[in-house]
Structure 1
């Protein structure tokens, strides 16, 4: 499948190193709002909507992780960037790892948040079938229940509602096709070939990709480190924005998190 021209938003100084932020399944570039101000002080920040999401095209059929990687590489080509830092959460982390394996010359440093090199396929095939039958809105509430800890959702009902609305607005065909990509993905054997220094960040309370998934990434990459954040579920960047932003900046600048 040919690469698509994804919707992107760019901020920060044009002459600074570029960092590309790739988001979770069911999200748009707006999921990175908590990081933009801090990262833009140091980097040219590029956020985008994955294919099938937000304002990006929704190609028909199932997708593969290579299709998402192709889109990210095409984005780098389109904005004239030979080499960038990649930061991805969940599906975005899977995409970042694939680009780091396939196109190592395009990746400087890598941050993988709340993601995995492999997830049980049956869960994702079932979710794809549900979404194709009933729409994304039918699962939006339950998805966001896994994105945040109960305490955060109770303390920030407006944030929770905004993310439920974000998930519900995702095109059902695009969401389901990305579920297919996750179901077919197994990058465990490829981790050893990732040459980019990699920071894996886990939410201690993440039910979707628990810390052991990020530990596998950190230990599988030759130059990998693990950071586990307390009081954070799947969208750790929203629940612990200052800690995540600081860890990203320190890693991308070559300092320990």
Structure 2
């Protein structure tokens, strides 16, 4: 599990699996998670790809330098990882923040991208008040004080009731995030605007939405799919973290598109 240092000195925790001769696939996590959010997909993806997982700055075992952060900064982190691994072009699968990373890459580093999967994500927040409110809350509270509400956004009630082990795993992952790093990421998400850049994306793209997703509703994904030329749209019976709530269906959708 290598640690790759970016141009500003931030250590990025990276895990690589699968054959070095296989085509690369890089996975990117949601806000408040680490690379283990992909554990349900990792083994199957690694059968077909050189699988690259990483913790974004402020999360997991990566560094959490003082903010502000931006998607330009996250993008440079990703390019540093690819360069250190000798990967010139990769497939990409990102969920939520990871889908925002993918939109940035598709528009700003097109030569590095083979195909894009953008899951449960957004492209712009005209109303920034919910993010401002979250930042204000976190100035006085810890992540464990908002984790229950977060799980309610991430997963449907039925899934929370039938798979408490998954909820416990994701809860532990969320509260382990660096508090200040999480806040810096929240501010970066608040400020995204890919409205002008998404139509320039040339990579074949699959947009996945969760039919019960309150965090990034299906309509947001539909707008992304319409903006990116030739993009496909798929839906899963899930809330926000669809790869955990519907692991088999998510894995199949991604592999059917990438292979």
- Please report the TM-score for the alignment, with normalisation by the length of structure 2: 0.94
* Aligned positions of 1:1-257 closer than 5 A: 2=8, 4-119=10-125, 120-230=127-237, 232-253=238-259
Contact 1:6–1:51 (CA under 8 A) maintained in structure 2 = yes
Single out whichever of 115-124 and 105-114 deviates more from structure 2: 115-124
Counterpart Cα distance in 2 of 1:190 and 1:65: 13
Single out whichever of 205-214 and 126-135 deviates more from structure 2: 126-135
Partner SS for 1:6: strand
Contact 1:121–1:182 (CA under 8 A) maintained in structure 2 = no
Q: Tell me how far 1:5 sits from its aligned partner.
A: 3.5
Q: Tell me how far 1:166 sits from its aligned partner.
A: 0.9
Single out whichever of 11-20 and 117-126 deviates more from structure 2: 117-126
Partner SS for 2:103: helix
Partner SS for 1:88: strand
Single out whichever of 103-112 and 185-194 deviates more from structure 2: 185-194
Partner SS for 1:85: strand
Unaligned runs of 5+ in 2: 1-6
The number of equivalent residue pairs is 252
Contact 1:5–1:75 (CA under 8 A) maintained in structure 2 = no
What CA deviation, in whole Å up to 9, does each residue of 1:203-234 have, x standing for no partner? 1000000111111111100020100112x000
Unaligned runs of 5+ in 1: none
Q: Provide closer, same or farther for how the CA distance between residues 105 and 5 of structure 1 changes in structure 2, counting only shifts above 3 A.
A: farther
Counterpart Cα distance in 2 of 1:238 and 1:221: 26
Q: Tell me how far 1:154 sits from its aligned partner.
A: 0.1
